[in-house]
Structure formats: structure tokens, C-alpha cells
Amino acid sequence: MQRPVIAHARWRARSVLGLLLFTFALLIVRAVYLQGMHNDFLQQKGESRYSRVLEMPATRGMITDRNREPLAISTPVESVWATPSALDLGAENIRPLARLLEMSPTELAKKLADPQRDFVFLKRHLPPEEAAKVMALGVPGISLQREYRRYYPGGELFSHLVGFTDVDDKGQEGLELALESEIAGKPGSRRVIRDRRGYIIEDVESIRKPQDGRDTVLSIDARIQNIAFRELKNAVAQYQAKAGGVVVLDALTGEILALANLPTYNPNNRVNLDPKRMRNRAVTDLFEPGSTLKPFTAAAALEAGLFRPDTVIQTGNGTLTIGTATIHDAHPAGALTVAQVIQKSSNVGAAKMALALPSVKMWEMFTGVGFGALPNAGFPGEGKGRLRPHAGWKPIEQATMSYGHGISVSLLQLAHAYMVFASDGEIRPLSLFRREGQAEATRVMSAATAQQVRKMLELAVLPGGTAPKAQVAGYRVGGKTGTAHKLDGASYAANKYVGSFVGLAPASAPRLIVAVMIDEPSAGGYYGGVVAAPAFSNVMAGALRLLGVKQDAPLNNVILPPPSAPEIREEV
């Protein structure tokens, strides 16, 4: 009776042994397969526990003024990051860590709530000394990553021009945005080994070296920019204006030497930033230029051979009726020469010159100096302005455009257009970047016409003109005022004005062009000769002396009208 039991026991033991041997064989085959033939999976899983690829940020290129003064630079900062799956954050560490990171323990715990995440930023852009305090806590799973933060030494003076970057060092406004592909650089990467506590213990290899961004040299002169901003700030405050702008151009090269706007903002501190303050108004905003366009009307009339500077125009009692509309002058002047029309800013005189011209001739003059076209200076969001095709002009429209109504321009466009008078009839393209030598010029009018208009512009700043406050001691100056009602929907606002002045100096051989615009002055006057001309004088005087431009007049050349003399105003 014992044999069947013994035989059954032996069979069972052999079966178990065979099963174990088979299992071991399977494990050996699997091990050989994974270790020798298909080891990618295990290697990946192993490396994920100790190996990590970290980004190596590239240094963003500097932006400097023409004299290599920094306007935007990158400073090294540390960002604190963690691996939630490897983090050992005890109760004794969470409060001091949260305090150093300037967040609540609840907020910190929320960031670390997902243990499956391998990477989470806890705090970006800490100064190195603060980051060192975080690491001194010795919390496992906490690491630092070197990054760069943009700093703007000029603050609000250059904010509209340079712009700013976001927390990831990507350009968001201004030239930081426009030049992103050139100055951002390309980040690199490196492979590191971490221990079980999350600390980096070894650099294994550099996978890709970072490529730093290219430095950019602007045409801007920080010294002139400072003068322009200071004088604009004074003018806006004095006349309680809504906004304002100043543009300074090099008449010889087309370089933009200064570009100031108000209101402004500090790109180093953008808490509660109002988007309205971020607009580069001198480049993007459009306005009706008013009487600053009269010199171009006069130039078109002279070029057509229909008028000479001394040709007399009868302005009568200062009114001109065209259809159902009537154009007015502020002061009835009777007979005026073309030069006096510019000096005294006669709307009637300008309209009569315009109506004597074929519309195409006037349109060609306006388009030739850049109205209705992008300035192409290199700044994002440049305003194109509005200039309708001449074929659709009605007589009243042609008449009003002769003194700057029914057409819109940016301040940058207006300053650029005056280059034609400074450069004896030629105009060069604008540039926000420093040029070596002169750019190729395009001829718009004859040198004789440009010089004749330039003499008229000189008359406008002398007693009897609309802008004696634009004169500069030691230099002959020429320029033109503009005063225009602002559009409010489809009609002109009764009590909202734009006062402007554009001029050049020295008039004998112009080097600089300065354009000033004061938007909605509400105290002390609104005419361009009152609100904009004094700022022009101060900016021009400071800039000429900084550049060492030779004087072409004695220091006592400024002649102001007597206090009792009537103010020469413009009808708006």
C-alpha cells in the first residue's frame, strides 16, 4: 500500500523541480534579452533615477547706444526648482523654505502636490545671495538653475524704444521684440548625475553649447535722449498736456539720435503697468500735422514754376470760401508773399497755392517725403499715416491738406520729411541703428527749392513769425509751427489741440532736425509756437553743443518781439 504514495510524491517533487527550472530558464532568457539584446528600456529607467538633461541658457545680447553705453543688459540670477518625486520636505523645512521663497506654506505645498512630476519651478530669478540661503537649508530635492534677467540702466528714458522681456527672457515690446531672433541667442544643454537626495554630483557631458546673442548698437545718443526727455517732461508738466513726443534726427545720415515719449514707464518695475503708457507714440500714433505741412505745399508750388518766394498772394480779409466751406486766417493780412505765407502761417495763402496746382503735383510732393508710407526705421508697430490717392481729392480737401488737415502722420514721419529741406532736396532712409557713412539719398526737389524754403523757415522763428521762442543762441534756426484740432470721432473736438514744431539747425548747413509734439495742452496756451517751440529750442541747443557743431551766428542773435507786440497765431 506504500508504493503508490511514494510514486506520487516523487512525481510531484519532479514536477515542482521542472517548473522551477523552467522558470529560471525563462528568467535567464529574459535577462539575456534585456541586458544583451534590448537593454534600452532598463537603461532608460535607470538613467531616469540618476541622470538628467538640464538647459544651459544663452546670454542675451546687449543693446547699447551709439557710444556703447548699455541700454539693456543681462544679469545672472538663480531659479529654484524641485523634483517632487525626490523631495523630502519635512514639517521643519516647509515654513523656512516658504518664507525664503516669499510664498505661503499652502502655496508651496500646492506646487509640489504632484509626485509624478520631475521638474517644477518654485521661484524664478532670485539674486544669488538669496538663492544661497535657500540651498543652505539642505532640503533634499531642491536645486538651482542659472538664468539671466534683463536690466535696463536707463529706466523710463528708453522704455518705449528698447522695450522689455518676460520672465523667460523673451522680448515682449520695443526692440527687444523686434530683434528677438538676433539678440536672444540659442540655449545649450548638459547631462548631469544626481544622487538619491536630488543633488547634482557630476557633470557628465555637454550635449550642446549655448550660443550667446549678438550685441546691437543703436543710433541713439543717450546724452541727447536725456535732454529730449527732460525738456519734454517740463513742457508736458507746464502745459498740463495729455502726452508728448520728441524726435531728433541726424540730417546727414538719417540716424535717429533721440526718441522720447510721455507718459512713460519703468521697464525694471512693471507692477500694475498701464498698457497706454507702453505706446511709442512718436512712432505709432498718428495726428493731423496742421501748419507744419505748409512748407511742403510751398515747395510743390515753387517746383511747378507757378510761384517764386516773392510772388504776392492776395489773402484779402483772411477768408476763402470753397463751395459751402470757408477757410480762415487768424489775422487778416491782405497781400502776402509766398515767404510771408510761411512766416505768418496763412491758411488762405497756402490754400491758394495748393488750388493753383494739379492735385497730382501736390500728392507727389507729399509721397516723395514719405507721407502715407511706413518709415521703415526698424521699430515694430510703425504708423503709416493716411494720405488718400489724389484722384479722389475735392477742391476743399486739397485746400485743407495744404495746411495739414485731412492727412495724418506720425511725429517720426514728420521729422523725416523735413530732412528734404535740411539736405538740399534729398532724403535718406531712417535708421535706429548706428551707420558708418551716409546712406544713399533720393532726390525729391531741386536744391534751389529746398534752400528757398529753408530761408522761409528761418523767417518763421524771427519776430513777425509764429515761433520766435524757437531761436537758439549762436545758431541760425529754421522751422515751422503746427496747431491742429484733434479729431473726436467724425468731427473735430472744439477744445482739444495738438501743438507742434519741427525745425533744423544750423540753417546755414543743417546737422540736426528736431520735432516736438504736445498732445492736448490744457493750461498756458495750445499754439505750437507757445507749447512746442521752447522745448525745441532747448533740445536743439543742448544737442548741437554736445556734438560740437560749429556756430553760424553770434551768441546775441536771439531777437524776441517786445512784450507789447501782438502774438502771431495760427487759425485752427
CATH number at residue 77: 3.90.1310.10
Q: Does 477 map to a domain? A: yes
Question: How many domains is the chain built from?
Answer: 2
Q: Does 88 map to a domain? A: yes
Residue 270: the pLDDT is 77
Residue 4: the pLDDT is 61
Coil, helix or strand at residue 445:
coil
pLDDT digits (tens, 9 = 90+) for 218-257: 999 999 999 999 999 999 999 999 999 999 999 999 999 9
- 110 and 194 fall within a common domain: yes
- Better pLDDT: 439 or 307: 307
- Whether pLDDT at 508 is above 70: yes
CB 496 within 8 A of CB 519: no
- 100 and 244 fall within a common domain: no
Residue 205's pLDDT band (boundaries 50, 70, 90)? Answer: low
Q: Does 109 map to a domain? A: yes
Mean pLDDT for 308-324 is: 94
- 401 and 502 fall within a common domain: yes
Q: Mean pLDDT across the chain, nearest whole number?
A: 88
3-state helix, strand, coil in the chain (%, to 5): 35, 25, 40
Euclidean distance between CA atoms 153 and 225, whole angstroms = 13
Boundaries of domain holding 61 = 53-157+186-217
DSSP β-ladder status, 188-194 and 51-56: antiparallel
- 209 and 246 fall within a common domain: no
Euclidean distance between CA atoms 238 and 234, whole angstroms = 6
Residue 556: the pLDDT is 95
Cβ-Cβ contacts under 8 Å for 105 (sequence gap 6 or more): 94, 95, 98
Give the angle 441-443-448 at the CA atoms, nearest 5°: 125
- Better pLDDT: 521 or 169: 521
Q: Does 383 map to a domain? A: yes
- 191 and 290 fall within a common domain: no
Poorest-pLDDT segment among 102-106, 437-441, 493-497: 102-106
Q: Does 44 map to a domain? A: no
Give me the sheet containing 200-208, strands edge to edge: 51-56, 188-194, 200-208
Q: Of the listed 291, 359, 408, 431, which one is catalytic?
A: 291
Residue 553: the pLDDT is 96
Residue 328's pLDDT band (boundaries 50, 70, 90)? Answer: very high
- Better pLDDT: 176 or 57: 176
- 213 and 304 fall within a common domain: no
- 210 and 195 fall within a common domain: yes
Residue 385's pLDDT band (boundaries 50, 70, 90)? Answer: very high
- 286 and 416 fall within a common domain: yes
Q: What is the CATH number of the domain that holds 378?
A: 3.40.710.10
- Better pLDDT: 491 or 477: 477
Residue 5's pLDDT band (boundaries 50, 70, 90)? Answer: low
Residue 522: the pLDDT is 94
Q: Does 571 map to a domain? A: no
- What percent of the chain has pLDDT above 90? 60
How far apart, in Å, are the Cα atoms of 67 and each of 218, 222, 341, 561?
Answer: 9, 8, 42, 40
- Whether pLDDT at 563 is above 90: no
Q: Does 315 map to a domain? A: yes
- Whether pLDDT at 28 is above 70: yes
- 99 and 121 fall within a common domain: yes
- 242 and 367 fall within a common domain: yes
291 catalytic per annotation: yes
Cβ-Cβ contacts under 8 Å for 468 (sequence gap 6 or more): 461, 462, 529, 533, 559, 560, 561
**Side chain identity, residue 139:** V
Q: Does 443 map to a domain? A: yes
pLDDT digits (tens, 9 = 90+) for 261-304: 999 999 998 777 788 888 999 999 999 999 999 999 999 999 99
- Whether pLDDT at 380 is above 80: yes
- 244 and 111 fall within a common domain: no
- Whether pLDDT at 489 is above 80: no
- 193 and 285 fall within a common domain: no
Residue 459: the pLDDT is 97
Residue 93: the pLDDT is 74
Mean pLDDT for 452-461 is: 98
Poorest-pLDDT segment among 53-57, 300-304, 533-537: 53-57
